[in-house]
Amino acid sequence: MNWLMLIALLLAGPAWAGEARPLADDPVVEARLKRLAVELRCLVCQNQTLADSNAPLAEDLRREVREMIVKNMSDEEIIEFLVSRYGDFVLYRPPVKTTTMLLWVGPFVLLAGGGIALAVALRRRGRRVEDVVITDEEHRRVEQLLSQGVKRP
Amino acid sequence: MNRFLLPLTIFGIMVGFLAVGLTLNPREIPSPLVGKAAPIFSLPQLHDQDKVFSPDDMKGQVWLLNFWASWCSGCRTEHPVLMDLAKSGAAPIYGVDYKDQRGEALAWLDQWGNPYPIVAVDAAGKVGIDYGVYGVPETYVIDKQGVIRYKQIGPLDDETVEKKILPLVKELQAK
């Protein structure tokens, strides 16, 4: 099999010389690989997806995923293959579990907390502002200041 | 005074979280393979290419499986620790030469010493993927039934061997 592929590559050599090596010949496989790879984390450079990373391991994993796609395995099966080896960490969208609960619920708890804090603060401030009656004299002075502007030194 | 108390408390909690975060190693990802059967493989041996090595050969023994490569600098750091461990005879360490050149691997072992009874060759890194290897060196402690009991990510050091590997190996051997 490897020999056949090698021969095929050698024959096709001049056609793609100088160009980036194509990931696979089948665009359908490649599209599926891309769709899956952006959901998967590269374990070597942890903030890159499998699609972005140039790490040798990421290349190997893309190759594995590509082979599984060619074997017609479902997305679930492919993801299960990776999770059983590398853990939930390979998923950019970790599953909802007791250990990941804080991760999923945390932002909403923080948002709710912030909202409550804001409401309380606004209400308190609202109570502090009092209606003050101003005299006609003061009213005139305000209008005068507004129309003239304040002289700045 | 009171109006500073709340921000100060929040700040204190944040500092606490960040301080703990600093002591954690983001490269240490808990392996789902601990407690599961070591994946089966059959790979050619480095020294005797006609022979193969398989974890099945090791049933009934407590042993260590160490993924390494001649291009890996962490393996060089770890190497004296493995040599000492091999000399102590506590448990055999079998090697997997991960994505390496045969000549360079052999030269590496000649130069620094060979702690492994057998080294298997994983040229394509496929077995590495089955074991969830993402950065050599990685070391697995495998029990008599062929179940992975511990995974070390990164180089082993004397402290880890003393405090984790040796007690675990003893406990597993007694079973």
| Contact with chain A for residue B14, Cβ under 8 A | no
Statement: residue B87 has pLDDT above 70:
yes
Q: Are A122 and A75 found together in one domain?
A: no
Structure tokens at A120: 């309380």
User: How far is B34 from B15, CA to CA, in rounded Å?
Assistant: 33
Contact yes or no for A44 and B129 at CB 8 A? no
Structurally, how many domains does chain A consist of?
Answer: 2
User: How high is the ipTM of this complex?
Assistant: 0.76
Q: Does the residue A67 lie in any domain?
A: yes
Task: Name which of B122, B147, B135, B155 is nearest B63 in CA terms.
Answer: B147
Q: Does the residue A1 lie in any domain?
A: no
Domain ranges, residue A26:
20-90
Contact yes or no for B32 and A85 at CB 8 A? yes
CA dihedral sign, ordered B44, B47, B48, B54: negative
pTM: 0.73
- Any idea where the domains of chain B sit in the sequence? 32-174
Please tell me whether the peptide bond between B137 and the residue prior to it is cis, using omega within 30 degrees of 0.
Answer: yes
Q: Does the residue A68 lie in any domain?
A: yes
Give me the pLDDT at residue B76, please: 92
Q: Are A25 and A86 found together in one domain?
A: yes
Contact criterion met (CB below 8 Å) for B95 and B116: yes
Structure tokens at B109: 């072992």
Average of per-residue pLDDT across B96-121: 92
For residue range A88-128, list pLDDT tens digits in order.
888 888 888 887 888 889 999 999 999 999 999 999 888 87
CB-count exposure of residue B116 (10 Å: 0-12, 13-18, 19+): buried
Contact criterion met (CB below 8 Å) for B97 and B121: yes
For residue range A11-49, list pLDDT tens digits in order.
554 444 444 455 557 888 888 888 888 888 888 877 888
Does the domain at B32-174 match CATH 3.40.640.10? Answer given as: no
User: How far is B79 from B137, CA to CA, in rounded Å?
Assistant: 10
Q: Which of A57, A102, A128 to mutate to test the interface with B (most CBs of B within 10 A)?
A: A57
